[in-house]
Chain A
């Protein structure tokens, strides 16, 4: 496998495959991720994101194929791989009866940091993640956002060259999520980060590149801009108003392939929608339009269109 390693890349997967009985969770995955890149894996539940991360973290053995992380084969050199990576799992994965300090110190010691390094790294990360005021409290008393920040700090304490963030903002309120994005932004460029998330705006805001996985295979890969450009003609129009009867909605459904009913409104998705034509048609049917908007394709649309494909 040494001949395939390129020193510009942090991660190269080569036909990486994992089967569970008859089910293929990850199917011949071929990926290259550059050093310092923030790379997002998107996909529905069960698409193969977490299985991929588990294989790259040496928690799960590939059925076939392999991956090279900074020159180390995950199948043959798991010990070497484990020294240069770290993970913030999907669950917060912290010791609840310990304080934030103690949690960080524990992980530092497990990675063999000296006492002095442990102390300085702990202080540095407590500061970076905004945990100073509550650092001496048992973590069971912290908010969900603080626990998530601590979880990422625990993954950073060993100063990994490759960091896996498995749904780091799951279950957080919008404000806490934004705060965490700021922390992740600060890490960009210094480390290779592999992020999985269900939040498209998160992937859009943070990622250098994105891969969309479906049934264990990559269906699309590129920068957020490149992915959205693939659906450049797609537009979404949302109209809210009075008198939007089922009959009127059914008429619209006959003209446009993708129409959804909303509370007091409709959402129309399609290529090159003619704004005036739709508005005039609704008004002539007696709809009193109160609010409307039209937007270009988002990452959400890209994700949906890929997952709608049979």
Chain B
């Protein structure tokens, strides 16, 4: 259980740099309030709280990529990782220690977005809450996996650029605040070739009362990508540290 000591350090490292954490948590809920207030003046379905909330939550997870990638690339560049690699930690300890501390941030993002959404008029029950977590936790893990890939391969400066691309890709191609079906064409095809739009669609369907059986197709995409990104993250880390 040595990974717990390192995970504990990583938690402190993230939470003691509050500006980025607050940005990753506060910005999505602020956007939610902003877009919903637009819909009150100009009634557009995609800006209603019911439709917008899943999009904002999935968008907020792209910040997890940044947190995970920056933590790892910083440790690589400062040679702190070298010190850790000389210790008797096993590869699996590193993977767990660099991914687990990010999950509480995802949960905080979900809780804050739901709290704001309830104030804005959304109706949630325990069933919806549980089912939406079944969709949202895997996509959060997928974003952590992308972070591990970027953090293993790129420098801290490069991570800032690549992480921004992930944020843009998830917001544009996820269909968080634009209807991919309405845009259609290549844009829609790219969107549905990535996991973000599937996660948003599945969560929206759950809000409308759909059960797990109705979102199986979306779940294949989400879980498939999650496994892929996590495996690539582990391989990238091992490749960069194996010497």
Contact = CB atoms under 8 A, between A and B. Distances in A.
Interface of A: 54, 57-61, 79, 82-83, 85-87, 89-98, 102, 106-107, 109-112, 138, 154-155, 158
5 contacts: A82-B88, A90-B79, A93-B78, A111-B87, A112-B88
B78 A91 contact: yes
Nearest to B87: A110
A87 B13 contact: no
Interface stretch (B1-9, B100-108, B127-135): B1-9
Given A98-B12, A102-B9, A110-B2, A92 B86 contact: no
Given A60-B243, A87-B82, A95 B88 contact: no
Interface of B: 2, 5-6, 8-9, 12-13, 16-17, 78-80, 82-89, 242-243
Contact of A95 (B9, B86, B89): B9
Contacts of A97: 12-13, 16-17
Nearest to B241: A59
A93 B84 CA distance: 9
A109 B89 CA distance: 11
A89 B83 contact: yes
A79 B80 CA distance: 19
Given A59-B243, A102-B9, A110 B79 contact: no
A106 B6 contact: yes
Given A87-B82, A91-B78, A112 B12 contact: no
Nearest to A18: B243
A98 B82 contact: no
A89 B79 contact: yes
Given A90-B79, A91-B78, A97-B17, A110 B88 contact: yes
A155 B84 CA distance: 11
A98 B85 CA distance: 19
